[in-house]
Structure 1
Amino acid sequence: VYAAYGNIAWVAAIFFGIKPAVMAIVAEAVIRIGSRALKNTVMWTLAALAFVAIFFLKVPFPLVVLTAGITGLVGGRLWKDKFLVFDQNKSGKKDAETVLGDDIESPAHTKPSLVGAIKVCVIWLTLWWLPVLLAGLWRGWNDTIFREGLFFSKAAVVTLGGAYAVLQYVAQNAVEYFHWLKPGQMMDGLGLAETKPGPLIMVLQFVGFMGGWNVPNGLPPLTAATLGALISTWTTFVPCFLWVFLGGPHIEQLRGNVHLTTALSAITAAVVGVVMNLAVWFGMHILLPQNEPFNWFAAIVGIVAFLGMWRWKWNIVYVVLGSGLLGFLFKFAIAR
């Protein structure tokens, strides 16, 4: 519906209002994540460096995360109290209230096993890559469908830090490198997704769908878009099963690992800077659209939406719907 009718005046007006809500949602996420992760000057410094690296120096997101992780590992050994931000051993429940407490031996089938790990890799790597390779053999290695499968597979491997970190990586690559979408379409997708459960997967499906629609390479647009949505969803979900089944048996051993915790603390701090980059990127495209004057409507709606969610805990769904309604009224009533 969006792809076919998104340019109709009243539909475009609604999305005109949704865009500043998206900007506010991402900005609020920066505050929310930062309040948990940035507990001292070291974490603040890591977040600032990550923002500078990815916004000004265009350092790839995976390299930012890798550098932060190494910094956390080394820093945790030299300055443990500054890097041990998250205590993974804290729990709101006692062991007696859980199904498997620390004093209960894990069942045999949950323990690490080389044979089990090989089986998991064979099964899930085959399920993961077979559709991608078939798409390449069928459509060619430069076709949008194959490239989407390859890109979202890469995203499933290199993106750490939560949904908004993934969105930053996907948004900038899909818009600026692959040119599957325009910035406005990316923001529309996030706005649509925030009105439904599971916004991350909804956005990735949207990117895959619009990539196929905008760059069908000889296929009917709807067919290419449907295949793009399917392969983006497949290559986002299936790797998760691989990580869970492969890493699950080692969780108990890693749970109290201090070095891993310090690395994750540093990565989380860096992710705050990464999400800040996403917020600034959205803000630039919304408030300063190309060849157009400053968007005062978006600035006002964005500020009100941000304050509402941050100060008064407004529901995101109502914020998005209300902003869409304001956009409609502005375009068809006030602006005229």
Structure 2
Amino acid sequence: MNTKSLMQVEDPLTKPTFKDALKFWFKLGWISFGGTLGHINIMHDFLVEKKKWISNSRFFHALSLCMLLPGPEAQQLAIYIGWQLHGKRGGLLAGLFFILPSMCILLGLSLLYVTFGNQAWMDAIFSGLKPAVVAIIFHAVWSVGGKALHGFLHYLLAAIAFACIFFFNIPMPYIIVGAIIFALFFRRIWPQLVYRKGASHDAEGEVNESDYYINKNTEGLGKDFNAKLLAKQSLIFFLIWILPLSLFYFLSFDFSFWKGMILFFTQTALFTIGGSYTVLPYVAQFSVSRFNWLSKSQMVDGFALAETTPGPLIIVVCYVGFMAGYNHFENSLWMGTVGLLVTTFYTFLPSFLFIFVGGPVLEHSRGNVVISDVLSFVTAAVVGVILNLTLYLGKDVLFPHGLSLAKVDLTALLWITVSIMLIFKLRLNIVYLIILSMAYGILQYCFLS
């Protein structure tokens, strides 16, 4: 059999069966280690390269649309493609399978954490994981910054965003609104300083667009979008949103706690643009400093736990919800579990809303230069926010006994340095780094204790 016939074993123009798609979405939820880039690479390899269910141009167009939205763009991309392949049920199951495996794993880890967290061997494992988490977040700053910062104004905005959240504790939604105003202002008075992305060149893939089931010329779902449909779908999502809140009102003895949690994570999901690393600084700072749901040390431990699971890094908010319920209700594992489920529901529900309701709107705005310019400035602000997260968590890892050079934790500094070298120089997979870091913590315990 020649190469050409090998490539055509599966007829790309035949609609994928719902069963085949379901198998992939289920598998994706269990193997998608490595954060957003890992998820996108797995989806691209399977959906574009192997199965030809969607063309390269449509895949990255969908990704760019999802990057305009608040929340985890990788999950929204899965919802979008699942929707385009098999309608609402396809999008719904793609989105659910994306998060349910990691949610279940993190629930188990959270239960173990609060049950055995005071054990010496658990402390040893986290002493190795925490420096690696700082290195991973620093790598995110470097990677996102290299792609997002293009010119003086971008660097200036990143610095302003960092100062706003680090020194003045300004909420993330205000920083995003400020970045949008900043972009529109300079686009108006000093347009030559505003970076514009060059036109994309898809010529390489245009020749074979017809080989894909969903391609550049395929009419996507949502073309029949109208204001009446928007109102109807928005009402449905509002009813879904308010149902658990109503149950807590009638059944809970502490409605104010659950209402505060629901409103906070709904706000987080609606207003944090830029993916997991935008959401997490906001959640970390407010859940620790304002709501006192957990300590800063527990927050860092949560990042370490989340890095050991598949799924989006934003899944760490489920751990935050668990610890909030657990601590508030006097070490109740049951209330911690309810907190985790509530947090998961209200963090990820808006992603379905944005795709099913807002996806068609964004499709109609494709190619809008103003939106592209504004998005580039929002992404620049995100760099400053991620830098804040690095310092916010890193200072407690390096200086656990006070902010002084004499009190620096040399073993943590060593492993941060090693982790950075492994990620940047050797491009070590994050999963392997996590395993090495756990071993490093155990070795510390065996030889230094």
Aligned counterparts, 1:227-266, within 5 A: 227-266=338-377
Deviations 1:244-279 (A, max 9, x none): 111111222212111111111101000000000000
SS at match of 1:20: helix
One-letter code aligned to 2:229: G
Is residue 2:127 matched to residue 1:16?
yes
Cα separation, partners in 2 of 1:259 and 1:123, compared to 1, 3 Å: same
1:328 alignment counterpart: 442
Contact preservation (8 Å) 1:50, 1:270: yes
1:46 alignment counterpart: 157
Is residue 2:210 matched to residue 1:93?
no
Contact preservation (8 Å) 1:141, 1:147: no
Contact preservation (8 Å) 2:153, 2:193: yes
Contact preservation (8 Å) 1:22, 1:190: yes
Moved over 4 A (4+): 87-92, 98-107, 140-143
Which blocks of at least 5 consecutive residues in structure 2 are unaligned?
Answer: 1-111
Separation in 2 of the partners of 1:313 and 1:165?
A: 23
1:5 alignment counterpart: 116
Which of 425, 428, 431 lines up with 1:311 in the alignment? 425
1:221 alignment counterpart: 332
2:412 alignment counterpart: 298
Is residue 2:187 matched to residue 1:72?
no
Cα separation, partners in 2 of 1:321 and 1:136, compared to 1, 3 Å: farther
Cα separation, partners in 2 of 1:171 and 1:141, compared to 1, 3 Å: same
Contact preservation (8 Å) 2:272, 2:279: yes
TM-score (norm 2): 0.69
Contact preservation (8 Å) 1:48, 1:273: yes
Cα separation, partners in 2 of 1:136 and 1:87, compared to 1, 3 Å: farther
Cα separation, partners in 2 of 1:243 and 1:322, compared to 1, 3 Å: same
Larger RCO, structure (CA 8 Å, separation 6 or more): 1
Contact preservation (8 Å) 1:145, 1:224: no
Which of 185, 200, 203 lines up with 2:316 in the alignment? 203
One-letter code aligned to 2:150: K
One-letter code aligned to 1:11: M
Which of 112, 116, 119 lines up with 2:232 in the alignment? 119
RMSD: 2.2
Separation in 1 of the partners of 2:180 and 2:310?
A: 30
Separation in 1 of the partners of 2:263 and 2:207?
A: 43
SS at match of 1:17: helix
Cα separation, partners in 2 of 1:86 and 1:216, compared to 1, 3 Å: farther
CA offset at residue 323 of structure 1?
Answer: 1.2
SS at match of 1:192: helix
Separation in 2 of the partners of 1:261 and 1:95?
A: 26
Contact preservation (8 Å) 1:128, 1:239: no
One-letter code aligned to 1:71: F
Contact preservation (8 Å) 2:281, 2:386: yes
* Aligned sequence identity (%): 37
CA offset at residue 81 of structure 1?
Answer: 4.6
Contact preservation (8 Å) 1:112, 1:249: yes
2:246 alignment counterpart: 133
Deviations 1:281-319 (A, max 9, x none): 011111111459211111110111012112221111111
SS at match of 1:93: helix
2:44 alignment counterpart: none
CA offset at residue 105 of structure 1?
Answer: 5.2
Contact preservation (8 Å) 2:280, 2:314: no
SS at match of 2:205: coil
Which of 166, 183, 186 lines up with 2:299 in the alignment? 186
Separation in 1 of the partners of 2:391 and 2:364?
A: 39
One-letter code aligned to 1:94: E
Cα separation, partners in 2 of 1:111 and 1:79, compared to 1, 3 Å: farther
One-letter code aligned to 1:236: T
Cα separation, partners in 2 of 1:233 and 1:34, compared to 1, 3 Å: same
